[in-house]
Amino acid sequence: MTALDDAQEEAKGDMTPMIDVVFLMIIFFICIDFKVLESKLPAYLPKDKGSQSDVVEPQEQLSVKIHVESAGTPIYPEGVTAGTISPNGRPYRFKLEGHRVKWEVGPKPLYNLADVQKELVRIAQDPASQVPDKETGGKKLMTCVIEAYPGTYYEDVARTTDACNAAGFKEINFGGGLGAK
């Protein structure tokens, strides 16, 4: 053999990695086709029944809704305009002037937080507000659900949560409202 024959033999590429890649691509595309096919198959799911046959009892809960009566006007510190970012990368804080909310504790409309607090304490002390506790077998205070409607600020929700907590409600959930605009 000559030196030219050795050079030609070294120039041949190894086809094994390319064949491996082709086989992996074939397997990949076969699996993708099965996923597409699987999604087109009809699914016969049970109607009106979950995995448990137990009937779930409806749970009594107190609804506290927060509606915005007046959105208010943001007042920024002197020399700051709306939408500018502070040196720490956050928007500047502002004070709301003229922001008013209305609460509905159950069906009762209330217009200040002190009245909301009084109504929550009254409801918490009412024996009719006690519901069965499945964990202990005794009674507990019903769950309170705070529903913030569009335009409410975190401060409105936080103060309402504090009022519910101070009145004695231990289970406080946050619910629906109507979502963001």
Give the model's pLDDT for residue 2. Answer: 59
Element (H, E) at 15: none
DSSP letter string, 125-142: HSGGGEEE-TTTSSEEEP
Q: At 97, is the secondary structure helix, strand, or coil?
A: strand
What are the contacts of 128-131 at 24+ separation with CB within 8 A? Answer: 129/62, 131/59, 131/60
pTM: 0.61
Q: What per-residue confidence (pLDDT) applies to 180?
A: 44
Which pLDDT belongs to residue 51? 63
- Structural contact between residues 64 and 104, judged by C-beta atoms closer than 8 angstroms: yes
Q: How far apart, in whole angstroms, are the C-alpha atoms of residue 109 and residue 102?
A: 7
If one compares 22 and 29, the residue with the highest pLDDT of the two is: 22
CA distance 119 to 167: 9
17 pLDDT tier (thresholds 50, 70, 90): confident
**pLDDT grade, residue 35 (50/70/90)?**
low
Q: Among 39-53, 59-73, 82-96, 121-135, which is the least confidently predicted range?
A: 39-53
The residue among 39 and 81 whose pLDDT is bigger is: 81
Predicted local confidence at residue 181, as pLDDT: 41
Percent of the chain's residues with pLDDT above 90: 15
Max avg pLDDT among 5-14, 72-81, 124-133, 160-169: 160-169
Q: What is the mean pLDDT of the chain?
A: 80
> In the block, which residue shows the tokens 């409600």?
169
pLDDT tens for 92-132 read 777 888 889 999 988 888 999 999 999 999 988 988 888 88
Predicted confidence at residue 177, as pLDDT, reads 58
What backbone phi and psi angles, to 5 degrees, belong to 18? Answer: -70, -40
Distance in angstroms (rounded) separating the CA atoms of residues 116 and 64: 9
How many Cα atoms sit within 13 Å of 160 on the Cβ side?
A: 27
Specify the pLDDT at position 90.
77
